[in-house]
Structure formats: structure tokens, C-alpha cells
Amino acid sequence: MKQVLSLLSIAFSLFLFYTAGFGLFRPEVQRVFPFLLALVMIVLVWPASADRNRKLLRAIDGAVVLASILSMVYLIL
């Protein structure tokens, strides 16, 4: 889990540094990509199933991450 959060944080930082130094992407990508990374990191840091060991809550966490990724990919395409 910590490795995934570290990779997402690094990707988030690199994206922001790249766009600050070399220019912007299309407005949709520029707005959606950081929002997607932030949503996924929030769910990974504070999952609904943190206090409970229930499979349903873990499935809901996974569904939230998947829905975030799919909706952002749809907006980019």
C-alpha cells in the first residue's frame, strides 16, 4: 500500500513539475489527471474499510477507485 501511495505521489509531483516547466496539456487533461490521482490517493489513505474487516467495504473502496479512474479516462478521451 505504501509503495502504491509513493508511486502515485511521485507521479502527481512529476506531472505538476512537467507542466510547470514545459507547458500545458489540453485543458481536460490538465484538470482531470491531478484530480484523478488525488481521488485515488484519498481512498487509499482513508479507506472505508479501515476500522472493519469486511469484504463489502473493501469492494466499495475498490469500486470507488475504479469509478474514479473510468470517469476520468472518459473525460480525457
Segment (H or E) for 24: none
The highest-confidence range among 7-11, 41-45, 53-57, 61-65, by mean pLDDT, is 7-11
Segment (H or E) for 45: helix 27-45
pLDDT over 70 at 8, yes or no: yes
Q: What is the pTM of this model?
A: 0.71
pLDDT band at 62 (very low <50, low <70, confident <90, very high): confident
- What single string gives the DSSP state of each residue in 48-76? TTSS---HHHHHHHHHHHHHHHHHHHHHH
Phi and psi dihedrals of 46, rounded to 5? -120, 75
